[in-house]
Amino acid sequence: MRYFHGCYSVGDDRLWGVNRRKKGAANTLAALKSIRAARPDGAPIYVILDKLSAHKGAAIRRWARKHKVEPCFTPTYASWANPIEAHFGPLRQFTITNSNHPNHTVQARALHAYLRWRNANARHRDVLAAERKERARIRSEKGIRWGGRPFAAAT
């Protein structure tokens, strides 16, 4: 059994990650450090995480405060609220489905080959920005917040 600790940059449309033998706070902290290293300018970073206990340790919270990393936890049973989830389907389809990898090393190589291909063929920044702007416009016209909840009625 292996766990893929995936990271996704919404602004760059870039996906990366690492396979781990187990879930844990040390692996979460390593992922957060890789995210911070990808943005060395010191600007605040908002990281969307599920509510796994390994994401909430005291060492993680201390490190995050010190390095301007703000963890944003998704509600329970709301994986749709995490933008990385949409990328796991294609990742599974191209690296795991109908595969017969002889060991975890070969599987990890296939996964990273897919990540290299996917990032080399990412959508252009201007296209991403236009798509986000259009989705925001449509939500605004319908009176719907991000996540599907309607706006509260003004009193």
Distance CA 141, CA 154 (A): 16
Q: Return all residues near 50 (Cβ < 8 A) that are at least 6 apart.
A: 73, 74, 79, 82
Amino acid letter for position 10: V
Q: pLDDT at position 147, please?
A: 55
- pLDDT (tens digit per residue) in 105-125: 888 888 889 889 988 887 777
Kindly report whether the global pTM for this prediction surpasses the value 0.75: no
- pLDDT (tens digit per residue) in 136-148: 777 677 776 555 5
Do 8 and 15 contact (CB within 8 A), yes or no?
yes
Does residue 126 have a pLDDT over 70?
yes
Confidence of residue 129 (pLDDT cuts 50, 70, 90): confident
CATH class of 3-142: alpha beta
- pLDDT (tens digit per residue) in 17-75: 878 777 788 888 888 888 888 888 888 888 888 777 777 788 889 999 999 998 888 87
